[in-house]
A = this chain, B = another copy of it.
């Protein structure tokens, strides 16, 4: 890591934007995630970086010639910026850190300039940050795969033999990936009830969440040219929170033999801010031990997990309080993002800038650390108690789900903000 990058990550670094120095803020100067926003003054979606309670309007900042991204920040998605490459991501982040650091007067002491380049986060509308050419979802939590395998197949052989040899994944539906805040309509579909001979058609009765993270491909690979595991992280721009909404009853009927389809394709929500891999660097940690040792193309030395605390909150319609229904950590994931990307491309499959790769549901070993209601309620058999009364087996109309994630530093945290969705009734 070069010195300029290292300096942006120092725990002692402070900003002249005071709200960024709040230890509970997701967006301290050490973070500087990228997103796409618009506001009432300028309705054009454009690139921004989050800092405390503010957004730095990167298009405006480039207009002032204080950063350089070849005009890419005026685009309505981050793809053109990301396509400029890692050197540019880094240079922009380092320049931003410099401009926002407590001792830098450029913006701090120029109210007119600040007015041109800062927008209050509360006044902004966030948009999908990237065009997503492809969305792949993995299945890399051992606890999750074991729980699901126990429930739907055989508790004695819950993990299928391929699971510990490769990061199992499948292609998801990119068209229905939406940004946090977009309401999610309960899907209709075919449901096979146990006591009926034929399926019925109707609204999903087992609507569920999946707590995941996702990473955004920052540099693709050409068809036929795999990405080596040791090189894979250099292809990753950053990470988001991801809620892979799932219709369990539709899924159970449709998924053999080709995998989930309508049960997942109706919506996937991601958080609006992409936290760069650079900002996550201080929170790198070891992946769980892998037994058996992976085949050579899946090996990488060093630490490739990230210590990201995660929680899921459920608030019923009209409820005064939300209930935290799960707490877990991304570092529990068996397969790393680098291994996922190496495996995805080892066949020669190409990836493209903006591709989204979901981690798979992140579950810990206990009921209160499960990433889905399917697991924490054991397919609805043990409903969760909600704080303001009531209980939940699966989601009801009006329920609002909020995913949160953050890396805890000393006196600050590098957070993802929120990934929110609430349920509209079926049509």
Which residues of A pack against B, CB within 8 Å? 133-134, 139, 149, 153, 160-162, 165-166, 168-176, 178, 185, 187-190, 192, 198-199, 201, 223-224, 226, 247, 250, 253-263, 265-267, 292, 295-297, 343-344, 346-352, 355, 427
Contacts and interface: CB of A to CB of B under 8 A. Distances in A.
Contacts of A347: 187-189, 247, 250, 262-263, 265-266
Contacts of A176: 223, 348-350
A165 B190 contact: yes
14 contacts: A169-B261, A173-B349, A176-B223, A176-B348, A178-B223, A188-B348, A189-B347, A190-B295, A198-B292, A201-B295, A226-B427, A259-B259, A262-B344, A265-B347
A297 B201 contact: yes
A178 B188 CA distance: 34
Contact of A133 (B175, B343, B351): B175
Contacts of A250: 347
Given A170-B258, A198-B292, A262-B343, A175 B350 contact: yes
Name which of A169, A187, A258 has the most chain B CB atoms within 10 A of its CB. Answer: A258
A69 B171 CA distance: 35
A166 B190 contact: yes
B351 A267 contact: no
Contacts of A174: 133-134, 174
A349 to B, nearest CB: 4
Contact of A162 (B170, B256, B350): B256
B201 A160 contact: no
Determine chain A's interface SS by DSSP, over half rule: loop
A258 B133 contact: no
Contact of A267 (B171, B190, B223): B223
A160 B134 CA distance: 29
Contacts of A160: 256-257
Nearest to A148: B257
A296 B186 CA distance: 20
A59 B352 CA distance: 29
Contacts of A261: 168-171
Given A201-B295, A266-B348, A347-B265, A171 B172 contact: yes
Nearest to A188: B346
A292 B346 CA distance: 42
The 5 closest A-B pairs by CB, nearest first: A259-B259, A171-B171, A187-B347, A170-B258, A265-B349
A260 B262 contact: no
A256 B256 CA distance: 9
Given A166-B254, A175-B349, A224-B427, 20 more contacts: A133-B174, A133-B175, A162-B192, A162-B199, A171-B171, A175-B352, A175-B355, A178-B223, A185-B223, A187-B348, A188-B226, A188-B346, A188-B348, A226-B427, A250-B347, A259-B259, A259-B260, A262-B347, A266-B348, A266-B349
